[in-house]
């Protein structure tokens, strides 16, 4: 807000209070906080504005305050800390088949398709009329549910049903910060304007919908990962100039989700952080974890650089994005009838391109499609062939074709994998440089070159898949590098899911098309896949903790792709590492029966914070615990993965201590198997673990020694990794954990 000589600058703040310091006259904390705000004076007469009182995620409230209010607040007994408002950004159905989910075997029937599980989605709202949220055949809402369906702009209680059982909106903070929501910017209600929340919700738990497609691509039946699970939407993201979430609103949404009784949460957004104490998602998810709520979060889209992970708190399951075995193509046939090639395309119209002239420039074909290289008179009503040119980006070539007024284009490029549906706003086809060479050879022998193009082709079984998406953020975590992040990889590229039908989605020349279902990409799309799998696992194993669910997913994840090779990094075409994909790509059916799990207690996380040298104030902000004594500070969490943070010496040695828990109804014996690269020595003691009845435990130590001598640069060793696998003797279970090295920054 503006300031002047008679008006102080105001801002929104999150205030942490010590609940044990409540004065005797107050009957509850809400009245104490209200009285505290009322007591704050201001020489200009501007009163504080109360936003939210929090019940679960933190002890305290949020409010709009002036500088003089803040100065007074810190002197009030019971005040712990105040953090200024911050803003987070968002980070998208064949995937159920790609994940191996089947109607009559494996995790789907074992987890009752997610029945009775309630998933809270913290996002941009929901479009309740979408067929993905129909409640046909669903039983009554669980009696333990305490939430409701709020009324608001173009939204009322009748929009909820037995699938979408709750919908709320949290916008107080973003409104007070002069970002007032007004049409057509967004709906001041749980209704989704942008589409992101509708997409993530239907991915996690959408109902089965037949005959779904994206303008002729990806035709089939759409279904969420946990199709019988219930959904509750907590809208905290609002579209202004950008889609943003205020920290105060996000905490309020998470707080309400806990109060309402969700079993799981998924957040596909992130905040910048200096510590976990100033990150609203880290703070809110700690409270959720304490109450047995599984929390899945997107890893962010800042890859492929290292140390770009967000949502890296160890009590959060952090998810990276991978490709699936499905590609979208166009077939190009040339007039000689001999050369036929396929290339990537999402052009959304069943356009008949038959016998259309092919243009390839004049004197210097290598400069074809560079800026201002095409003459409108030459290319009108023709398909332009743009030669491979490593000096000109393919999107710049696309802009030149559009400027010239050509009918469409074929691009020879090595960047086709980085193109998204919205890039194909004209009849465009992206082919490989090798196929581009075939086209050039054809052009040299043809006087009247022409092409036929067939769009809307979907190919399944593409290999290799999965690959790590180039945009997916990479580890280690800047804030806690001693825990390997991301935890796991899940589908996050060209995911088909529900969308808002009244938003202009696909550009076609100067016009736009609308759609009920769209293809979207991001770690935003990966997180709801994992929360859906977690809902199935929680339904099948009601006594499993969030740590056990995460462990089951991690230790059974796939590290081999569908071409029987190592999972590749799409950014450079080379083998990925656990810094890219964590423990591997999620395999739901294997996670149903992991054999052993790594459990983590709440106190272990607190001791981890102590080892990070967090102050007592920061620990109190995150845990809401007063006077916690850090007598057992420990960076070595009982985590299902291992990371060695290297120093500047030639040798680094670290000893890990772990405890495994048996989760099957039988006795068992496991033996360790180690695979380690050159320069990494791994010793496990003991090499054999024996388990008695269900929930019996056995511990081991693992010493890892890294020898950096012989490497030209220490950075050459970053990402080198091995595996520790526990094989069940005379049994089927294999419990695998990655061991990776990295330098701290």
Which residues are known catalytic residues?
123, 196, 524
DSSP state, residue 47: P
Is the alpha carbon torsion for 564, 569, 574, 579 positive or negative? negative
DSSP state, residue 558: B
Cα–Cα dist 356/448, whole Å: 10
* Lookup result for tokens 């002729």: 216
Q: Which residues touch 19 (CB under 8 Å, ≥6 apart)?
A: 29, 59, 624
Cα–Cα dist 437/667, whole Å: 62
Q: Are 117 and 226 in contact (CB under 8 A)?
A: yes
Q: What are phi and psi for residue 512, nearest 5 degrees? A: -135, 150
Q: Which residues touch 304 (CB under 8 Å, ≥6 apart)?
A: 470, 471, 472, 474, 569, 571, 572, 580
Longest dimension (CA), the chain: 94
Q: What is the DSSP string of 464-488?
A: S--EE-TTS--SS-SS-TTS-S--E
Cα–Cα dist 315/323, whole Å: 26
Cα–Cα dist 311/87, whole Å: 14
Beta strands 697-707 and 680-685, pairing class? antiparallel
Reading the block at residue 604, the tokens are: 């272990």
Q: Are 643 and 558 in contact (CB under 8 A)?
A: no
Cα–Cα dist 566/558, whole Å: 10
Q: How far is CA 713 from CA 158, 648, 707, 708, 718, in A?
A: 63, 11, 12, 9, 10
Helix axes 546-555, 523-540, angle to 10 degrees: 110
Cα–Cα dist 578/374, whole Å: 46
Cα–Cα dist 58/576, whole Å: 38
As beta bridge partners, residue 332 has 341, 453
DSSP state, residue 37: H
Cα–Cα dist 404/162, whole Å: 53
Of 628, 606, 632, 643, nearest in space to 718 by CA? 643
**What is the side-by-side order of every strand in the sheet holding 269-270?**
237-239, 243-246, 87-90, 269-270
Q: Which residues touch 678 (CB under 8 Å, ≥6 apart)?
A: none
The burial class, CB within 10 Å (0-12 / 13-18 / 19+), for 617 is exposed
Cα–Cα dist 685/697, whole Å: 15
Cα–Cα dist 245/247, whole Å: 6
């Amino acid at each position: 807000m503006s300031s002047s000589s008679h008006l102080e600058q105001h801002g929104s703040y999150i205030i942490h209070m010590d609940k044990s310091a409540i004065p005797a006259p107050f009957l509850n904390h809400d009245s104490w906080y209200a009285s505290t705000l009322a007591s704050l004076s201001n020489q200009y007469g501007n009163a504080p504005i109360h936003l939210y009182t929090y019940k679960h995620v933190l002890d305290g409230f949020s409010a709009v305050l002036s500088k003089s209010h803040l100065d007074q607040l810190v002197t009030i007994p019971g005040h712990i800390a105040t953090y200024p408002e911050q803003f987070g950004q968002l980070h998208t159905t064949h995937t159920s088949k790609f994940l191996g989910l089947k109607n009559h075997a494996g995790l789907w029937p074992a987890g009752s398709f997610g029945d009775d599980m309630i998933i809270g989605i913290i996002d941009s709202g929901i479009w309740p009329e979408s067929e993905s949220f129909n409640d046909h055949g669903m039983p009554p809402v669980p009696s333990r549910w305490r939430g409701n369906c709020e009324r608001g702009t173009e939204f009322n209680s009748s929009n909820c049903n037995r699938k979408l059982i709750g919908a709320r909106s949290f916008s107080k903070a973003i409104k007070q910060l002069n970002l007032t929501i007004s049409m057509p910017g967004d709906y001041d209600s749980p209704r989704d304007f942008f589409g992101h929340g509708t997409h993530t919700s239907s991915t996690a738990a959408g109902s089965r919908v037949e005959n779904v497609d994206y303008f002729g691509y990806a035709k089939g039946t759409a279904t969420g990962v946990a199709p019988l699970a219930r959904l509750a939407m907590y809208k905290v993201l609002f579209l202004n100039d950008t889609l943003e979430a205020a920290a105060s609103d996000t905490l309020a949404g998470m707080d309400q989700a806990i109060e309402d009784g969700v079993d799981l949460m998924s957040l596909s957004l992130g905040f910048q952080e200096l510590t976990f104490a100033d990150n609203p998602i880290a703070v809110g998810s700690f409270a959720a974890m304490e109450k047995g709520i599984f929390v899945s979060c997107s890893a962010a889209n800042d890859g492929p650089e290292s140390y770009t992970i967000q949502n890296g708190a160890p009590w959060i399951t952090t998810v990276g994005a991978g490709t699936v075995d499905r590609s979208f193509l166009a077939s190009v046939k040339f007039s000689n009838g001999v050369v036929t090639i396929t290339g990537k395309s999402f052009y959304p119209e069943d356009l008949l391109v038959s016998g259309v002239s092919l243009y390839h420039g004049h004197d210097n074909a290598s400069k074809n499609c560079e800026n201002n290289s095409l003459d409108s008179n030459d290319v009108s009503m023709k398909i332009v062939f743009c030669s491979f040119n490593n000096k000109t980006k393919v999107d710049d070539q696309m802009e030149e074709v559009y400027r010239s007024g050509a009918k469409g284009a074929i691009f020879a490029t090595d960047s086709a994998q980085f193109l998204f549906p919205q890039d194909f706003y004209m009849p465009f086809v992206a082919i490989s440089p090798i196929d581009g060479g075939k086209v050039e050879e054809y052009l040299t022998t043809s006087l009247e070159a022409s092409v036929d193009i067939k769009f809307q082709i979907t190919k399944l079984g593409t290999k290799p898949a999965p690959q790590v998406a180039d945009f997916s953020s990479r580890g280690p975590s800047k804030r806690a590098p001693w825990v390997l992040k991301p935890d796991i990889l899940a589908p996050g590229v060209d995911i088909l899911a529900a969308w808002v039908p009244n938003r202009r989605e696909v550009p076609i020349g100067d016009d736009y098309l609308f759609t009920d279902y769209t293809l979207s990409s991001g770690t935003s799309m990966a997180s709801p896949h994992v929360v859906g799998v977690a809902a199935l696992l929680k339904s099948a194993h009601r006594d499993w903790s969030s740590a056990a669910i995460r462990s089951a997913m991690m230790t059974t994840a796939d590290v081999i792709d569908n071409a029987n090779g190592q999972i590749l990094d799409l950014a450079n075409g080379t083998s990925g590492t656990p810094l890219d994909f964590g423990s591997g790509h999620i395999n739901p059916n294997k996670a149903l029966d992991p054999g052993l799990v790594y459990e983590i207690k709440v106190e272990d996380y607190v001791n981890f914070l102590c080892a990070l040298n967090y102050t007592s104030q920061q620990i109190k902000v995150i845990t809401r615990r007063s006077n916690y004594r850090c007598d057992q500070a420990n960076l070595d969490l009982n985590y299902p993965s291992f990371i060695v943070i290297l120093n500047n010496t030639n040798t680094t040695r670290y000893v890990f201590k772990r405890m495994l828990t048996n989760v099957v109804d039988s006795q068992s014996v496991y033996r360790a198997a180690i695979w380690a690269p050159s320069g990494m020595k791994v010793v496990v003691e003991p090499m054999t673990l024996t388990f008695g009845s269900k929930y019996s435990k056995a511990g081991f130590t693992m010493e890892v020694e890294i020898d950096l001598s012989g490497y030209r640069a220490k950075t050459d060793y970053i990402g080198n990794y091995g595996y520790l696998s526990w094989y069940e003797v005379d049994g089927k279970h294999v419990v695998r954990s990655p061991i990776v090295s990295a330098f701290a920054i």
